[in-house]
């Protein structure tokens, strides 16, 4: 009988003090939350999906976070990835269906947008030009409103728009 009471007492203590059975703790919202942009149309269905993290300016300049003339990961945290469900023309260049990491080299009148075949990377530290699949020019324009957190969207015509601060970069996806 004493043995049974001891076993039950140990079991109750294990349940009470176990991390697995106490209330689960969830992390706070990430400072650069993950987001997804999707492009589809009636004729082709799903065409492209971009998965990226959205860094926020928080009083900092875009030029400090994404310096002109230097390779940038186009986002925050894990490198941004684009998946093309079909072969596409990306910025006027042929790209086969598949998943690619997206990098950018910001400039004043155009940004170089780079698709790389090196997946599952963090930041731009692992970037190697040897992994480039294609480089295209993204046209820079001034946005009509200020964008605090980096945003990527697609127009109905298939243009991919990257917006941040007062800058909009456009690359055609056909």
- Chain segment 30-61, per-residue pLDDT in tens: 889 899 999 999 888 999 999 999 999 999 99
The H or E element that residue 32 is part of is: none
Written as one string, the DSSP assignment of 96-108 is -SEEEEEEEE--S
Cα 118 to Cα 160: distance, rounded to the nearest angstrom = 21
Task: Please give the DSSP secondary-structure letter assigned to residue 131.
Answer: G
Average pLDDT for 21-37 = 82
Q: How many helices (H) and strands (E) does the chain have?
A: 2, 9
Residue 126 binned pLDDT confidence (cut-offs 50, 70, 90) = confident
Are the C-beta atoms of residues 159 and 47 closer than 8 Å to each other? no
Is the model's pLDDT at 20 over the cut of 60?
no
The pLDDT of residue 27: 83
Q: Are 164 and 170 in contact (CB under 8 A)?
A: no
Contacts of 113 (CB under 8 A, 6+ apart): 74, 91, 102, 103, 104, 135, 136, 137, 138, 169, 171
Q: With cut-offs at 50, 70 and 90, classify the pLDDT of residue 25.
A: confident
Q: What is the pLDDT of residues 58-111, one digit of tens each?
A: 999 999 999 999 999 999 999 999 999 999 999 999 999 999 999 999 999 999
The predicted structure's pLDDT at residue 166: 95
């Amino acid at each position: 009988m004493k043995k049974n009471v001891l076993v039950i007492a140990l079991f109750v203590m294990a349940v009470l003090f176990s991390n697995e059975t106490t209330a689960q703790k969830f992390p706070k919202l990430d400072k650069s939350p993950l987001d997804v942009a999707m492009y589809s149309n009636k004729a082709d269905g799903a065409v492209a999906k971009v998965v990226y993290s959205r860094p926020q300016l928080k009083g900092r300049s875009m030029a400090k976070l994404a310096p002109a003339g230097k390779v940038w990961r186009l986002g925050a945290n894990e490198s941004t990835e684009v998946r093309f469900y079909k072969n596409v023309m990306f910025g006027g260049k042929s790209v086969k269906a598949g998943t690619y990491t997206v990098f950018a080299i910001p400039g004043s009148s155009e940004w170089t947008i780079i698709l790389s075949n090196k997946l599952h990377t963090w930041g731009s530290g692992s970037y190697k030009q040897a992994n480039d699949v294609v480089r295209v020019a993204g046209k820079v324009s001034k946005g009509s409103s200020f964008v605090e957190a980096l945003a990527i969207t697609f127009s109905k015509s298939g243009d991919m728009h990257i917006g941040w601060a007062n800058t909009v970069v456009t690359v055609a996806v056909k």
